[in-house]
Amino acid sequence: MAWIVLVISGVFEAVWATALGRSDGLSRLAPTVVFGAALVVSMAGLAYAMRELPTGTAYAVWVGIGAVGTVTYAMATGAEPASLVRILLLLGIVACVIGLKVVH
């Protein structure tokens, strides 16, 4: 169960990071509200997962999922350029996250 919660929390990290970028320094209401709500859900899920998972592993997986999700969304919406090299590097992060699960 901790791994499922951790993955969901990583997705919410991507949500709050994206919302933070769209909030223009927390000056736009809707993205700021999304940022705050997603931040709370993400952190609470990370804290829950850390009850059963080692801190370093949980944090690395959470950050990896959040980073890949944030960049993937940005590339899909055209906010950031997509290239084969960038996609391969993101797949490397995904492989490392999977590796951390496998060796756990």
64 with 94: CB under 8 angstroms?
Answer: yes
Token pair for 70: 């944030």
pLDDT, one tens digit per residue, over 45-103 is: 999 999 999 999 999 999 999 999 999 999 999 999 999 999 999 999 999 999 988 99
Q: What pLDDT is stored for residue 90 in this prediction?
A: 97
Determine the average pLDDT of the residues in 13-29: 97
* pLDDT tens figures, 29-53: 999 999 999 999 999 999 999 999 9
Mean pLDDT within 1-20: 97
Structure tokens at 75: 């590339």
Question: Which whole-number Å values give the CA distances from 49 to 5, 42, 56, in the listed order?
Answer: 6, 11, 12
Compute CA distances 66 → 27, 29, 89, 94, whole Å. 23, 23, 15, 11
pTM: 0.91
pLDDT at 104 over 90: no
Task: Return the ∠ at Cα 104 (arms to 90 and 4), rounded to 5°.
Answer: 65
